[in-house]
Amino acid sequence: MASTKPLCLPRRSFPRRATVRRRLAEGEQILSGGVFNKQKSHEDIVNEFGDSACFTLSLLGHVYCKTDRLAKGSECYQKSLSLNPFLWSPFESLCEIGEKPDPDQTFKLTSIQNFSSCLPNTCTTLVSNHSLSHRQPETVLTETPQDTIELNRLNLESSNSKYSLNTDSSVSYIDSAVISPDNVPLGTGTSILSKQVQNKPKTGRSLLGGPTALSPLTPSFGILPLETPSPGDGSYLQNYTNTPSVIDVPSTGAPTKKSVARMGQTGTKSVFSQSGNSREVTPILVAQTQSSGPQTSTTPQVLSPTITSPPNALPRRSSRLFTSDSSTTKENSKKLKMKFPPKIPNRKTKSKTNKGGITQPSINDSLEITKLDSSIISEGKISTITPQIQAFNLQKAAAEGLMSLLREMGKGYLALCSYNCKEAINILSHLPSHHYSTGWVLCQVGRAYFELSEYMQAERIFSEVRRIENYRVEGMEIYSTTLWHLQKDVALSVLSKDLTDMDKNSPEAWCAAGNCFSLQREHDIAIKFFQRAIQVDPNYAYAYTLLGHEFVLTEELDKALACFRNAIRVNPRHYNAWYGLGMIYYKQEKFSLAEMHFQKALDINPQSSVLLCHIGVVQHALKKSEKALDTLNKAIVIDPKNPLCKFHRASVLFANEKYKSALQELEELKQIVPKESLVYFLIGKVYKKLGQTHLALMNFSWAMDLDPKGANNQIKEAIDKRYLPDDEEPITQEEQIMGTDESQESSMTDADDTQLHAAESDEF
Amino acid sequence: MTTPNKTPPGADPKQLERTATVREIGSQAVWSLSSCKPGFGVDQLRDDNLETYWQSDGSQPHLVNIQFRRKTTVKTLCIYADYKSDESYTPSKISVRVGNHFHNLQEIRQLELVEPSGWIHVPLTDNHKKPTRTFMIQIAVLANHQNGRDTHMRQIKIYTPVEESSIGKFPRCTTIDFMMYRSIR
């Protein structure tokens, strides 16, 4: 099929993209010398940015991907991951652009060199900071933005004085830039970047308004001693604050909610305790799992207990902390970080904490631990093993645990992005239950079911997500489309109302609202809402796709074409948009173009039986009936529950005059979906062709009966053609039908037939 | 003298829309009037508000012209007229003409209204009982109640049959099981 490639309007031609592009260019300029200057190699970047190189590279990768240089982008992501395997964001981005990074290779601890160099010296500072930092957990616990901001401030202040080491200020600003790739125009990031550039990166000053906490990047995996922290011990392990909580500081509504969501997720999982370390706001991983008291329900779970805080507070938090099985629960914080960074608005203070998360357990980490240890030692609380070693071992164990979790989740996510949905579901359901029952994981599982067209299952999973995290907005657009497919209008309107009430700035909420009105057939209003979703986030591909579908429904095919192309411009792997384009060409009867687009969609998502079904029909329209049958057979094999595949196979057989097989297919279909009028309609046509007019009429009248909105024109016409050579009165013809039907009592076999027949005889 | 039966009001066209068998396409057309009083023009005729109306301001017949960019299938025309509020302004004889342009119009329906009190559904079918395909529709008000000169028309909606969006030239499916697999969204 030598059809021309679909006309994908060149990205460069969109004027409004110019602004974003300009900023991307600025960003790139700053990070790597720009497109036109000599570009720095990755090594240069690593040298220049030191510890934060991983974030730099991640950000650079993002810039490259957005400007169509996917190869370079993926290179950057890979490098970033190799520098710091704790990063989730680059891994996620790699999966999304279609690469297949190997989770086992990526999430390995061996790549971290500095574990052994955990031999710190300064411990004193730690102790002095305890009191200061202790206050933090309280603040951290609250979910309000103000608190998190305050927390951050406190953290930063505490770490301010003792800033040292290789904390580049660059780190901090990188963070902010990294944090805000999507939501905030990169310009803000880059403007900060440019400011930073002027102060040489290596200076210890952070221009971001806070003490440089390069720390956030370098989590220290301090471990809680094995004993339950005793309440009264102030100098004991300081406040653990869930790094995510710190990270999630951004004060905007949505991100905060998300962060809360994450905190909620982490719930009883691992806790990143925050050492009162002056230099850094490094999280200390809590590896312990003792539960030490009643759980609080309200405050965000993950927050670490402050040992110094009032005794009541302490047991609560720690208990929550300790209920996790393994230290590997970091995934939560992981998840927090992973999801979070892209969305955190450019908040200087936050930046620090952000990627910090569990980044490099490099040099600095050790500080915390050792400080921790020393403080512990000073209290005489620890046992014989040298605290350093003990802490170090714990740290290692914690990190290892985290890695294994990341590997699992990485595998699951990779499978999902390659549309290997069954496998993704399998992998993700093997996660321990406290990880499985979290918003992010369940959303991925729900999405996997959605892609498999198993809408009932997907709906079940998503309603579970809503139950667990009803503030979660991400992933809800898939839920709304699921409800749209299932035609559950009440649930859909509830969902859209909740989402729009909760967050008017999220495209997902407006997509849900648009879906709701589309289901009600109010297409103009739906169009308005989808346009609003696009306004809120012009880089959200799904909004364009949905808008395109609405335009198709209002027969404005040109606008629909433009929308689908926009969606593809934003995300070339958005197979729904390729499908949409195929549908438009099909409607315009440009069958070869249609087939090409469907095939492209299928290349991205090979397990979709709906796609295969469409390809089969198009091939049949192109007169390639053998191929069509093959394709349809494949579709049925992949998903035997898809009745349309069988239906279309029957219709292809019918068109090829294989009436017996068509009838057989249709009879099977009748068993599966007994109330579908189309099935009877096609059976009627087959019988008509076979010359068995009475059976044909019988089936046609059943088809008409089953169609509650009044007889379909086609059915009427089919009957008409049989009896009206040209101009007979429709009335007489109907009388004839009725007459013939009444005489058909004998041939009823299955219950449905009798039921239908009974219904008919009731009428007369 | 027998009083002719009053024209019964029809169903609200919104219900028609919800059946998903028709779609309102007035927004895809260009509307024009033969005459109107300032402030009582096309906008008031198409604003989904039954309180506002078009008031003509010329000689009979008063015309509403609906022109499409391309040949469109039209199934039903819905006009809202209310004798109680409009009295002598209420149209009593309406002629519906279709064609390609102004000089090519042919009347396909003529209806007599007697004290209408709501929506009037006018099916626009050709000789073969199928919806008409046309570039232009003209609604002509030939006479009003009580021989009024000018006319009020409160709302007009025009409907086209919905094309099957599913693949294959089949009528639409009726069960959710089929509809779920019909498309990817």
- What pLDDT band is residue B157 in, cutting at 50, 70 and 90? very high
- List the single residue in A587, A642, A676 with the smallest CB-CB distance to B175: A676
Residue whose token pair is 């008291």: A293
Residue type, A190: T
Cα nearest neighbour of B25 on chain A = A554
Left if phi > 0, otherwise alpha if psi is -120 to 50, otherwise beta: which for A589?
A: left
For residues A673 and A492, give the distance between their C-alpha atoms in angstroms, rounded to a whole number. 25
Predicted ipTM of the assembly? 0.83
Q: Is A614 on the interface with B (CB under 8 A)?
A: yes
Q: Is A523 on the interface with B (CB under 8 A)?
A: yes
Residues A89, A92, A97, A100, CA torsion sign? positive
- In the DSSP assignment, the letter for residue A295 is P
- What pLDDT band is residue A359 in, cutting at 50, 70 and 90? very low
Give which of A221, A404, A274, A237 is closest to A329, Cα–Cα: A404
Residue A559 with chain B: CB contacts under 8 Å: none
Q: Is A357 helix (H, G, I), strand (E, B) or coil?
A: coil
Give which of A628, A618, A612 is closest to A591, Cα–Cα: A618
Q: Is A168 helix (H, G, I), strand (E, B) or coil?
A: coil
How far are the Cα atoms of A648, A692, A712, A733 from residue A723, in angstroms, in the given order?
Answer: 27, 13, 17, 7
Q: Per residue in A301-313, pLDDT tens? A: 333 333 343 444 4
Residue B27 with chain A: CB contacts under 8 Å: 524
Residue whose token pair is 């919806």: B131
- In the DSSP assignment, the letter for residue B149 is S
Give which of A199, A207, A276 is closest to A235, Cα–Cα: A276
For residues A726 and A719, give the distance between their C-alpha atoms in angstroms, rounded to a whole number. 12
Give which of A29, A30, A40, A81 is closest to A58, Cα–Cα: A81
Q: Is A89 helix (H, G, I), strand (E, B) or coil?
A: helix
Q: What's the token pair of residue A719?
A: 């009957």
Q: Inter-chain contact B183–A610, Cβ cutoff 8 Å? A: yes
Q: Is A620 helix (H, G, I), strand (E, B) or coil?
A: helix
DSSP per residue, B11-34: --HHHHHHTTSEEE-GGGEEEEES
Cα A305 to chain centroid distance, Å, stands at 31
Q: Which residues contact A709 (CB under 8 A, 6 or more apart)?
A: B19, B20, B21
Q: Per residue in A68-97, pLDDT tens? A: 888 888 888 888 888 888 888 888 888 888
Residue whose token pair is 């706001």: A281
Q: Is A408 helix (H, G, I), strand (E, B) or coil?
A: helix
Residues A224, A227, A231, A234, CA torsion sign? negative
Q: Looking at residues B147-172, what average pLDDT do you find? A: 81
Distance from CA of B130 to the nearest CA of A (A): 9
- As a whole number of angstroms, the longest Cα–Cα distance in chain A is 105
Q: Is B128 on the interface with A (CB under 8 A)?
A: no
Give which of A702, A687, A693, A691 is closest to A752, Cα–Cα: A702
- Taking residue A630's Cβ as centre, other Cβ atoms within 10 Å add up to 14
- List the single residue in A554, A579, A709 with the smallest CB-CB distance to B184: A579
- Residues A115 and A220 sit within 8 Å (Cβ to Cβ): no
Please return the burial class of A437, using the count of CB atoms within 10 Å of its CB with bins 0-12, 13-18 and 19+: middle
- Residues A520 and A511 sit within 8 Å (Cβ to Cβ): no
Cα atoms in the Cβ-side hemisphere of radius 13 Å centred on A461: 28
Residues A425, A428, A430, A435, CA torsion sign? negative
What pLDDT is attached to residue A339?
Answer: 44
Q: What's the token pair of residue B144?
A: 């009003």
Q: Inter-chain contact B170–A651, Cβ cutoff 8 Å? A: yes
Q: Is B2 on the interface with A (CB under 8 A)?
A: no
* Lowest mean pLDDT segment, chosen from A551-565, A732-746, B98-112: A732-746
- Residues A515 and A496 sit within 8 Å (Cβ to Cβ): yes
- Residues A597 and A3 sit within 8 Å (Cβ to Cβ): no
Q: What's the token pair of residue A245?
A: 């909580």
Residues A475-486 as b/e (b if ≥16 CB within 10 A, e otherwise) read: bbbbbbbbbbbb
Q: Looking at residues A191-210, what average pLDDT do you find? A: 39
Q: Is A693 helix (H, G, I), strand (E, B) or coil?
A: helix
Residues A165-196 as b/e (b if ≥16 CB within 10 A, e otherwise) read: bbbbbbbbbbbbbbbbbbbbbbbebbbbbeeb
Q: Per residue in A99-138, pLDDT tens? A: 888 888 888 776 554 444 333 333 333 333 444 444 444 3
Residue A552 with chain B: CB contacts under 8 Å: 165
- Residues B151 and B55 sit within 8 Å (Cβ to Cβ): yes
Select, from the ranges A151-165, A384-398, A676-690, the one with the highest average predicted confidence (pLDDT).
A676-690
Give the number of beta-carbon pairs within 8 Å between A and B: 107
Cα nearest neighbour of A648 on chain B = B168
- Helix and strand numbers (H, E) in chain B are 4, 11
Residue B180 with chain A: CB contacts under 8 Å: 453, 455, 485-486
- List the single residue in A545, A648, A678 with the smallest CB-CB distance to B171: A678
Q: Per residue in A224-237, pLDDT tens? A: 344 443 444 433 33
H helices present in A267-329, as ranges: 313-322
Residue whose token pair is 């982008």: A73
Q: Looking at residues A176-187, what average pLDDT do you find? A: 40
Q: What's the token pair of residue A136?
A: 């933090």
For residues B28 and A412, give the distance between their C-alpha atoms in angstroms, rounded to a whole number. 47
Residue A676 with chain B: CB contacts under 8 Å: 173-175, 177-178
Residue whose token pair is 């294994």: A404
For residues A260 and A471, give the distance between their C-alpha atoms in angstroms, rounded to a whole number. 9
User: What are residue A169's phi and psi, to 5 degrees?
Assistant: -65, -25
Q: Looking at residues A635-645, what average pLDDT do you find? A: 91
pLDDT above 70: percentage of residues in chain A: 53
What pLDDT is attached to residue A385?
Answer: 67
Q: Is A549 on the interface with B (CB under 8 A)?
A: yes
H helices present in A537-655, as ranges: 541-553, 557-570, 575-587, 591-604, 609-621, 625-638, 643-655
Residue B99 clears pLDDT 90, i.e. is over it: yes
Distance from CA of B7 to the nearest CA of A (A): 24
* More reliable by pLDDT, A594 or A57: A594
- What pLDDT band is residue A49 in, cutting at 50, 70 and 90? confident
Q: Inter-chain contact B185–A617, Cβ cutoff 8 Å? A: no
Q: Inter-chain contact A520–B18, Cβ cutoff 8 Å? A: yes
Q: What is the 3-state secondary structure (H, E, C) of A631-665?
A: HHHHHHHHCCCCHHHHHHHHHHHHHCCCHHHHHHH
User: What are residue B113's phi and psi, to 5 degrees?
Assistant: -110, 135
Residue whose token pair is 């980044």: A359
Q: Inter-chain contact A712–B171, Cβ cutoff 8 Å? A: yes
For residues A55 and A354, give the distance between their C-alpha atoms in angstroms, rounded to a whole number. 11
- Residues A60 and A45 sit within 8 Å (Cβ to Cβ): yes
Q: Looking at residues A141-165, what average pLDDT do you find? A: 43
For residues A438 and B136, give the distance between their C-alpha atoms in angstroms, rounded to a whole number. 58
Cis amide bond preceding A643, omega within 30: no
Residue whose token pair is 């902390």: A321
For residues A502 and A253, give the distance between their C-alpha atoms in angstroms, rounded to a whole number. 9
pLDDT above 90: percentage of residues in chain A: 30
* Lowest mean pLDDT segment, chosen from A237-241, A669-673, B107-111: A237-241
- What pLDDT band is residue A666 in, cutting at 50, 70 and 90? very high
Residue whose token pair is 């209420």: B90
Residue A256 clears pLDDT 60, i.e. is over it: no
Give which of A310, A349, A379 is closest to A135, Cα–Cα: A310
- List the single residue in A522, A643, A706 with the smallest CB-CB distance to B174: A706
Residue A182 clears pLDDT 70, i.e. is over it: no
Residue A515 clears pLDDT 60, i.e. is over it: yes
Task: Name the average pLDDT for chain A.
Answer: 67
Residue A715 with chain B: CB contacts under 8 Å: 171
Distance from CA of A623 to the nearest CA of B (A): 13
Q: Inter-chain contact B20–A521, Cβ cutoff 8 Å? A: yes
* More reliable by pLDDT, B45 or A63: B45
Select, from the ranges A41-50, A164-173, A204-213, B164-173, the one with the highest average predicted confidence (pLDDT).
A41-50
Residues A361, A367, A370, A376, CA torsion sign? negative
Cα A162 to chain centroid distance, Å, stands at 39
